[in-house]
Amino acid sequence: MPEGERTVALVTGASRGIGSATCLALARTGLAVAVGYRSDPEGAEETVAKARADGGTAIAVSIDVRDEVSVDGAFGRVEAELGRVRVLVNNAGYTRDGLAVKYATEQWDATVETNLTGAFLCTRRALPGMLKARWGRIVNVASAAALRGNAGQAAYSASKAGLVGLTKSLAREVGGRGITVNAVCPGFVHTRMTEPQSEESRQRYLEMTPAGRFGTPEEVASVIACLAGPEAGYVNGAVVSVDGGLTA
Ligand SMILES: NC(=O)c1ccc[n+]([C@@H]2O[C@H](COP(=O)([O-])OP(=O)(O)OC[C@H]3O[C@@H](n4cnc5c(N)ncnc54)[C@H](OP(=O)(O)O)[C@@H]3O)[C@@H](O)[C@H]2O)c1
């Protein structure tokens, strides 16, 4: 990373769950962290308070990844208060399960716009600064659903598979400039996103997961922090499963 410069990270969708845990993991490694939130400023402030209690630097930043103006405004605020974003974690995610045969177009659009277009918009905004610095880390939070598919999750799986494609193409595009672009694919992790899953569906996941348990946000966060770190400079275009063996 650029000599003598404080490394700044922006994590989208970070007021809770995997995003919040990622902010704390990054702050513990010494990064100044912008905690992105869309609708939950209190959650983001809690994450900020925890990071600061650990001795870290953190601020909360409003960012709706579906909205280009919001993305640009959030990056502007981070640049003004912390400095250029050198580490971007595209974590914001959305899902509504439903069978394809009667899935609403609005739900399809919301899913793809959040999970795929949103990651693209943030990445495009982050890249000029990274290219100039000849250093950057982009970690996209995809899903095991990108690799194996799930009945009832056509939109979610397609958007996350698209995110894997985006990861691999960008890794080739900017890999010669000191920038890495990688994806993590979590399996079933206890967060608000998985709360609506039925007991039957949980049981099915458990049976398919060799680890015999669900993952924690912290287990995903530590892999993201590793990929975001200075020592992961030779890891580029990788799709790292964090799923207890679900997709092995
Ligand atoms: N939990 C799992 O089992 C699992 C498995 C595989 C992958 N993942 C992925 O991991 C990531 C984190 O999910 P999580 O499990 O921690 O779920 P979560 O607790 O529901 O968090 C999702 C976050 O995304 C934010 N978000 C949604 N739409 C947004 C938008 N348009 N702009 C900005 N932020 C937005 C949410 O904020 P608001 O509510 O304020 O909008 C929330 O903070 C997601 O990409 C998810 O797809 C999760």
List all residues whose CB is within 6 A of at least one atom of ligand 1: 12-13, 15-19, 37-40, 63-66, 91-94, 114, 118, 141, 143, 186, 188-189, 191-194
The confidence score (pLDDT) of residue 3 equals 67
| 200 is a domain residue | yes
| 221 is a domain residue | yes
Helix-then-strand count for the chain, H and E = 9, 7
Compute the distance from residue 155 Cα to the ligand 1 centre, in Å. Answer: 15
The confidence score (pLDDT) of residue 2 equals 62
| 187 is a domain residue | yes
| 130 is a domain residue | yes
| 62 is a domain residue | yes
- 9 residue type, one letter: A
Give, using CA atoms, the residue closest to atom 23 of ligand 1. Answer: 13
Neighbours of 57 (CB within 10 A): 17
* Structural domain count, the chain: 1
Domain that holds residue 50: 8-239
Instruction: Determine phi and psi for 100, rounding to 5 degrees.
Output: -60, -35
CATH number of the domain to which 98 belongs:
3.40.50.720
As averages over each run of 10 residues, the pLDDT of the chain (248 residues) reads: 82 98 98 98 98 97 98 98 98 97 98 98 98 98 96 97 98 98 97 91 94 98 97 98 98
The confidence score (pLDDT) of residue 62 equals 98
Q: Which atom of ligand 1 is nearest to the CA of 92?
A: 24
Q: Is 156 part of the annotated catalytic residue set?
A: yes
| 36 is a domain residue | yes
For 9-75, give the DSSP string: EEESS-SSHHHHHHHHHHHHTT-EEEEEESS-HHHHHHHHHHHHHTT-EEEEEE--TT-HHHHHHHH
Q: Residue 12 and residue 236: Cα distance in Å, rounded?
A: 21
CB 8 within 8 A of CB 83: yes
The confidence score (pLDDT) of residue 210 equals 97
The confidence score (pLDDT) of residue 1 equals 64
| 244 is a domain residue | no
Q: What is the pTM of this model?
A: 0.98
| 247 is a domain residue | no
Catalytic, out of 37, 94, 103, 156: 156
